[in-house]
Copies of this chain bind each other. A is one copy, B any other.
């Protein structure tokens, strides 16, 4: 990993731990073990660092979903497995969700973050839509299903679940159960 990547990983971790509003550039520097000035050398200012951290989190998530050996999600069951893989009791997955959840909420109050958040959300939603289309091409999801519409709805539902899961209001099993139920219904043609 490059020094730049180290800084972004530490920033994402700091956001997961203390939130965007709690993030201090000096804390990120301490986590990486570098001078604060080096962070400003790479990222100019705090907003740029936060936006780059969001980008980093998004790229990591995409890379994880497209990792070598990851089968394409050509069946409804594989799609459901792909969606529910984001709700597991794995510290790395939990930290990813905490960072994303914080970045999303902060975008409401921090206009500097909005454009990057919208782009990251679109990349994620497009990824889901592409998986739905593969399942349609394989004949496992009806052609009449609106892949983009379902992708948006599933992503929105997952984000809603996230914050209840991260506060412990829903257990992992409850979150997975709700997501499987909702996503499998959305993958059917309306009224079918």
**Which of A's residues lie within 8 Å of B, judged by CB?**
18-19, 21-22, 98, 101-102, 104-109, 114, 117-118, 121, 149, 152-153, 155-161, 163-164, 166-169, 178, 181-182, 185-186, 190
Could you say which residues of chain B place their CB within 8 Å of the CB of A117?
A: 167, 169
Please pick, from B98, B105, B156, B186, the residue contacting A102 in the complex, using a CB distance under 8 A: B105
Q: Are A109 and B185 in contact (CB under 8 A)?
A: no
Q: Are B153 and A159 in contact (CB under 8 A)?
A: no
Please pick, from B22, B169, B182, the residue contacting A118 in the complex, using a CB distance under 8 A: B169
Minimum-distance CB pairs A-B, first 9: A160-B160, A105-B105, A21-B21, A156-B160, A159-B160, A108-B166, A19-B109, A107-B167, A118-B169
Could you say which residues of chain B place their CB within 8 Å of the CB of A104?
A: 105, 163
Q: A18-B109, A105-B102 are in contact. Are A114 and B167 (CB under 8 A)?
A: yes
For residue A107, which residue of chain B has the nearest CB?
Answer: B167
Q: Are B160 and A178 in contact (CB under 8 A)?
A: no
Could you say which residues of chain B place their CB within 8 Å of the CB of A18?
A: 109
For residue A111, which residue of chain B has the nearest CB?
Answer: B167
Q: Are A185 and B178 in contact (CB under 8 A)?
A: no
Q: Are A153 and B181 in contact (CB under 8 A)?
A: yes
Q: Are A164 and B121 in contact (CB under 8 A)?
A: yes
For residue A121, which residue of chain B has the nearest CB?
Answer: B169
